[in-house]
Structure 1
Amino acid sequence: MPEIEKVMIVEGKSDKLKVKRVIKEPVDIICTNGTISQTKLDEFAENLYDKDVYILVDADESGEKLRRKLKRELPEASHLYIDKAYKEVASAPDHHVAEILFRSNIRVQTKFL
Structure 2
Amino acid sequence: MKEDRIVIVEGITDKKKIKKILDEEVEIICTHGTLGVERMEELILDYNLDHRIVFILVDEDDSGNKLRKMLTQELPHADHIYIDKAFREVAATPEPELARALLSRHFIVKPIYLI
Query: Normalising by the residue count of structure 1, what TM-score does the alignment of the two structures yield?
Result: 0.93
Aligned residue for 1:57, secondary structure, equals coil
Superposed displacement of residue 33, structure 1? 0.7
| Residue in structure 1 matched with residue 5 of structure 2 by the alignment | 6
Superposed displacement of residue 13, structure 1? 0.7
**Conserved 8 A contact 1:6-1:26:** no
| Residue in structure 2 matched with residue 104 of structure 1 by the alignment | 105
**What is the number of equivalent residue pairs in this alignment?**
111
Offset from partner CA, 1:64-84 (integer Å, 9 cap, x none):
000000000000000111000
| Residue in structure 2 matched with residue 85 of structure 1 by the alignment | 86
Superposed displacement of residue 56, structure 1? 0.3
For residue 112 of structure 2, what is the amino acid of its counterpart? K
**Conserved 8 A contact 2:34-2:66:** no
| Residue in structure 1 matched with residue 54 of structure 2 by the alignment | 53
Gaps of 5+ in 2: none
Gaps of 5+ in 1: none
CA distance in 2, matches of 1:84, 1:6: 25
Percent identity at matched positions? 44
Superposed displacement of residue 4, structure 1? 3.2
Aligned residue for 2:32, secondary structure, equals coil
| Residue in structure 2 matched with residue 42 of structure 1 by the alignment | 41
Offset from partner CA, 1:47-95 (integer Å, 9 cap, x none):
1122111000000000000000000000000011100010000010000
The RMSD of aligned alpha carbons is 1.3
For residue 10 of structure 1, what is the amino acid of its counterpart? V
CA distance in 1, matches of 2:109, 2:39: 29
CA distance in 2, matches of 1:48, 1:93: 29
CA distance in 1, matches of 2:12, 2:29: 9
Q: Displaced runs of 4+ in structure 1, greater than 4 A? A: none
CA distance in 1, matches of 2:108, 2:23: 5
